[in-house]
């Protein structure tokens, strides 16, 4: 059974940093594309960042490019999202997602496995 568990969320002031982690179990993570999405209150879930299963391709939403970095440690079966220069508009529940042999899609429907989410709140 595939399970993804996010951690690392919290309350931070604007301009601060957080690092989210997503630990996977029940899979060989190196065979999976991984991604982060977020959903703010009253808004649709939106793409944040993704990394292809081969690790060769990384993608970011324009709103986070240059501030967020997605990385993975296959030995630990964990994917990370380093978030710097946080803004109040980054406030959302952040979800990690995975799809076997995926290319790192922008689309949530392309991911079969999801975590439960972790809350990130950025105060102004």
What does the H/E/C string look like for 30-91? HHEEEEEEEECCCCCCEEEEEECCCCCCEEECCCCCCCEEEEEEHHHCEEEEEECCCCHHHC
Question: CA end-to-end span of the chain, whole Å?
Answer: 40
Tens-digit pLDDT string for the chain (124 aa): 889 999 999 999 999 999 999 999 988 888 899 999 999 999 999 999 999 988 779 999 999 999 999 999 989 999 999 999 999 999 999 999 999 988 889 999 999 999 999 999 999 9
Residue 103: the pLDDT is 87
CA distances from 74 to 39, 77, 115 (A): 26, 5, 17
pLDDT in tens, 25-50: 988 888 899 999 999 999 999 999 99
Model pLDDT, residue 71: 93
**pLDDT value of residue 121:** 98
- CB atoms near residue 55 (< 10 Å): 14
């Amino acid at each position: 059974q595939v399970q993804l568990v996010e951690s690392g969320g919290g309350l931070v002031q604007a301009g601060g940093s957080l690092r989210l982690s997503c630990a996977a179990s029940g899979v060989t993570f190196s065979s999976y594309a991984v991604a982060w999405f977020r959903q703010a209150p009253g808004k649709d879930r939106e793409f944040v960042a993704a990394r292809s299963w081969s690790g060769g391709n990384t993608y970011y939403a324009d709103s986070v490019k240059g501030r967020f970095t997605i990385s993975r440690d296959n030995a630990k079966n964990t994917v990370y999202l380093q978030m710097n220069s946080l803004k109040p508009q980054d406030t959302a529940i952040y979800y990690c997602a995975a799809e076997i042999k995926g290319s790192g899609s922008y689309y949530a429907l392309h991911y079969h496995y999801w975590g439960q989410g972790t809350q990130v709140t950025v105060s102004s």
